[in-house]
Amino acid sequence: MRFSRRQFMMSATGALVYASSAGLLKRAGIAAEEPIRVGNILDQTGVLNIYSLKQIQAVAMAVDEINAAGGLLGRPLELFFYDSQSNNQFNAQYTTQALVRDKVQVIHGGITSSSREVMRPIVDRFRGLLFYNSLYEGGVCDRRHVSTGMVPAQQLEALIPYVMNELGGKRGYILAADYNYGHITAKWMQKIIRDNGGEDLAVEFFPLDVTNFAPVLSRIQEAKPDVVWSALVGGAHMAFYRQFEQTIGKKNMLLASSTYGVGREQTQLSPEEGDGIYIATSFVDSLPTENAKSFVERFQAYVGNDEYVGEYGEYGYRGVTLWAEAVRKAGAADPDSVIAALGGTQVEGAGGLYTIDGQTNHTTMDIHIVRGNKEQSFDVLKSFPQQPPKDTQLVCNLYENPNDTTQYEVQID
């Protein structure tokens, strides 16, 4: 068994025991000031915790680092954590509790789109601020909401031309998870493939509990595409990557994905099963930059193990540091002042430069094309600097409509 006692304690008691301890605040000499309250609502329990656990620890680490460096505006941060237990009902209850009772200045959290859509109206109603640190389908236009993760066009406009032109993947077969994200991502895949002169042979959607992919693998063999595009999501769909390798094999057909790797999928597959999958990402542990190396080292020291960190973990750290930068820029921590300062806020983070796009409150970031390798990690092939959240920019302009709170669906023809 590959776990230490410390690791057990970490996962058993949660990251909270390490975060924002009174001693740490005292050493930093900022304990006397009224703390700035930060809320974090994520799923420590239940089916979604595969995406949340690293992020919970990363948020705690970011808060501790800020406190160790003297706090924000001379005030310490105080972290309030709520375990939403993979149940949207708790997202609603804790969002209200965080804003009304615990009076937090910002909430980081929500993993799924549905949980975000439950939290967002509450945040709007109580004039709070929500940092949604997750990969999602794009289109949310709300000044009280900041998205720090990738949206489909941002990712795919780098990935698809690369795979088509450099690797010869002209004819694609698209597989996506059967929910909002999958449907929208599949449409963007089709559009970008066609715009680049390729061919999309088929699009198929899979309910999130499907584990038997034998039928579609036979259909893929019938259609004979150059590349299979995957926007599959969640634990059950991991079975696809295993069965693909057992049946067709990546040496015979290209495999590229918009979702693989963000939830540390490669650590759950054998080296052979993960070797050779192409993805577009804003952060992998193996990025050859000083910032990335330093982040991974600090994180592993913080949690006391040397596990792969991954994109969702980094999102949490990214969200807190971007918010902290906006607070410094605003000179105040209350939501309305911070919101006014959001546009153009920049942080040189682990995955490159992050810039909040004031038009959409989404994040402009570097996108890296990487390929899975035999060490259950990724080789970086090419980086595309400063990719804007193009799809959401098409439908959202918070400068013109500051009171907009809609989630738009980008119409793709």
Partner 1 sequence: MALRPLGMQPAAEPPKWWWWLFVVAATAVLFALPSYIDIAVQLDMSVIFVLALLALSMSFLWGYVGILSFGQTAFFGLGGYTYAIAAMNFGETTGPLIGAMILPALFAGVIGYFMIYGRVSGIYLSVITLVVTLILEKGVRATSGEQFVIGSVRVGGQNGIPGVPPLQLPWDPSTSLFIDGVFYLSAGALVLVYVGLRLLLLTRFGRVLVGIRENERRTELLGYDARRYKLAAFVLAGGVAGLSGALYGIWGSFVGPEMFGLGQAAQVIIWVIVGGKATLIGPIVGTGLIQYLTTWLGTQGVGQVSLVLGGVLVIFVLVFQQGLLPSIGLLLAQITGRSKRSES
Partner 2 sequence: MEQVAIYAYQIGFSFSIFILISLGLAIIFGMMGVINLAQGEFLMLGAYSCTMAAQAGLPLWMAFIVAAIVVGLFGIIVERLIIRFLYGRVVDTLLATWGLSLFIVGAVTSVFGPQTESVASTLGNFAIGNFTVSQYSLVMMVIAVALLVFCYALFRYTRFGLLARGTMQNAAMARGLGVGTDRIYMATFGLGSALTGLAGAVLVPITGAAPTMGIFFIAKAFITVIAGGPMPLLGTISASGLFGTIDGIVAYASSSVVG
- Residues of this chain that interact with partner 2 (CB under 8 A) are 1-3, 7-8, 11-12, 45-47, 49-50, 53, 190, 200-205, 209, 211-212, 214-216, 218-219, 221-222, 235-236, 238-239, 242-243, 245-249, 264, 267-270, 272-273, 307
The partner in contact with residue 270, picked from partner 2, partner 1, none with C-beta cut-offs of 5 to 8 angstroms by kind, is: partner 2
Strand 346-349, strand 352-357: pairing = antiparallel
> Could you tell me the smallest distance in angstroms from the CB atom of residue 20 to partner 1?
11
Residue 52 in tokens: 């949340």
Other CB atoms within a 10 A radius of the CB of residue 288 amount to: 9
380: enclosing H helix or E strand: strand 378-387
Taken in order 177, 182, 187, 188, the sign of the CA dihedral is negative
Nearer residue to partner 2 within complex by CB, 209 or 375: 209
Nearer residue to partner 1 within complex by CB, 17 or 223: 17
User: For residue 141, what are the CA distances in angstroms to 115, 124, 146, 402?
Assistant: 16, 12, 9, 9
> Could you tell me the smallest distance in angstroms from the CB atom of residue 315 to partner 2?
16
Closest CA to 282 of 367, 384, 155: 367
Nearer residue to partner 1 within complex by CB, 21 or 221: 21
Residue 190 in tokens: 């089709």
User: For residue 161, what are the CA distances in angstroms to 158, 169, 196, 241, 261?
Assistant: 6, 9, 7, 23, 20
The partner in contact with residue 383, picked from partner 2, partner 1, none with C-beta cut-offs of 5 to 8 angstroms by kind, is: none
Nearer residue to partner 2 within complex by CB, 27 or 219: 219
Q: Is 264 exposed, middle or buried (0-12, 13-18, 19+ CB in 10 A)?
A: buried
Strand 106-109, strand 227-231: pairing = unpaired
> Could you tell me the smallest distance in angstroms from the CB atom of residue 182 to partner 2?
12
Nearer residue to partner 2 within complex by CB, 157 or 273: 273
Taken in order 35, 96, 346, 336, the sign of the CA dihedral is negative
> Could you tell me the smallest distance in angstroms from the CB atom of residue 190 to partner 2?
6
> Could you tell me the smallest distance in angstroms from the CB atom of residue 269 to partner 2?
6
> Could you tell me the smallest distance in angstroms from the CB atom of residue 370 to partner 2?
19
Nearer residue to partner 1 within complex by CB, 128 or 343: 128
Q: Which amino acid is at 211?
A: T
> Could you tell me the smallest distance in angstroms from the CB atom of residue 3 to partner 2?
7
**Binding-site ranges for partner 1 (CB under 8 A):** 11-14, 16-17, 44-46, 80-85, 87-90, 92-94, 96-97, 100-101, 112-114, 117-118, 121, 178-180, 182-183, 205, 207-208, 409
Nearer residue to partner 1 within complex by CB, 44 or 230: 44
